Amino acid sequence: MNFVQSKVQASQVQSLWAAGHTANFEVRTVGRRPRPRHAFTLLELLIAVVAFAIVLAAINGVFYSGLKLRNRSAASLEKSLPLAQALLVLKRDIANLAPPSTNENRLIGELQSTPTGTGASSTPRFGSIAGATGASGGQNSQISPDFYTLSGLLETAAPWPNVQKVAYLLVESTNRNALGRDLVRAVTRNLLPAGGIEELPAEQLLLSDVEDVFFLYHDGTDWQETWDSTADETKKLPRAIKVQIQLAGASPAELRPPVELVVPIVVEATTNSVSGGSQ
């Protein structure tokens, strides 16, 4: 009996303790104030959106300016590359000019040009190449003398030496939207053809949109518009050759100053003449 009473008392004590603990927890919970929750106001959201839009507009302006600059640079580089390549080829051909031959084989011919006239409207025409009529208005025209140059490439599959005949022509462009004519390089490798029948030269396109090209020759004192290596045995080749390339424009007002290339001639032409009893 005592054991049963002690069990009942223990269970009552536990029930009272649990009830008191729950009541205290409820009192503490009811008496505590809830924490306030902070949020963005409409004005703050509007300010953030405006600031973000300003930053995006600035980034877009910088990106668009950089894109335009990149396109202009690429277009300028693409336009200047053919001109640089043409000038490089011209310089190589002129710098490697060979003096005219003095023997009977005449592998290397004379350097001769015809009068070019005076002023900016002069149009030098030579016409040594078949088909180069020397007239303007849509027809091919040779605008340089025949250069005998040592710029030819030696190939195992071809029997030709490094000497070749090079001439420059202005031909009508096949592009309808072209502003000018095409500068063409005509190369003849076989300088001693069988039967004396000259072969047609191989034509290479150098530059498009060209208005005109002029060649000037320095005799050691001044620039001359013509040159004839047969006129003076002591001056077979000029001291230098100047090339002026006038690029075409959409209108006369858009014509830029001509591009000039000056190439010194360091080759000394020799003769087979005997002087003072020694050769």
Pick from 277, 272, 191: nearest CA to 236: 272
**Listed ranges 6-10, 66-70, 163-167; the one with the highest mean pLDDT:** 163-167
pLDDT of residue 270: 52
The b/e string for 186-218 (b: 16+ C-beta within 10 A; e otherwise) is: bbbbebeeeeeeeeebebeebbbbbbbbbbbbb
Does a structural domain hold residue 26? Answer: no
pLDDT of residue 279: 34
Query: pLDDT grade, residue 96 (50/70/90)?
Result: very high
pLDDT of residue 19: 55
pLDDT in tens, 2-42: 555 555 555 655 665 555 555 454 445 444 566 666 677 88
Q: Provide mean pLDDT across the span 126-141.
A: 48
Whether the predicted pLDDT of 198 surpasses 70: yes
Does a structural domain hold residue 100? Answer: yes
Does a structural domain hold residue 168? Answer: yes
pLDDT of residue 179: 85
pLDDT of residue 87: 93
pLDDT in tens, 199-258: 788 899 999 889 899 999 998 899 998 888 888 776 788 999 999 999 888 777 777 888
pLDDT of residue 274: 42
Per-residue CA distances from 194 to 197, 198, 199, 201 (Å): 7, 8, 10, 15
Query: What average pLDDT does the chain have?
Result: 76
pLDDT greater at residue 8 or residue 66: 66
pLDDT greater at residue 2 or residue 187: 187
- Kindly give, in sequence order, each residue whose CB lies less than 8 Å from that of residue 187, ignoring residues fewer than 6 positions away: 152, 164, 165, 166, 201, 202, 203, 204
pLDDT of residue 9: 57
The b/e string for 94-106 (b: 16+ C-beta within 10 A; e otherwise) is: bbbbbbbeeeeee
Does a structural domain hold residue 148? Answer: yes
The CA distance from 229 to 235, in Å, is 7
What distance lies between CA 265 and its chain's CA centroid? 27
The CA distance from 163 to 98, in Å, is 8
Does a structural domain hold residue 44? Answer: no
Does a structural domain hold residue 206? Answer: yes
pLDDT greater at residue 18 or residue 51: 51
Does a structural domain hold residue 58? Answer: no
pLDDT of residue 90: 94
Per-residue CA distances from 46 to 41, 43, 140, 218 (Å): 9, 5, 71, 76
In this prediction, what percent of the chain has a pLDDT beyond 90? 20
Whether the predicted pLDDT of 66 surpasses 50: yes
Pick from 147, 120, 154: nearest CA to 217: 147
Whether the predicted pLDDT of 140 surpasses 50: yes
Range of the domain at 165: 79-264
Does a structural domain hold residue 236? Answer: yes
pLDDT greater at residue 235 or residue 58: 58
Whether the predicted pLDDT of 193 surpasses 90: no
pLDDT of residue 134: 42
pLDDT in tens, 142-158: 888 999 998 888 888 87
In this prediction, what percent of the chain has a pLDDT beyond 70? 70
Q: How many domains does the chain have?
A: 1
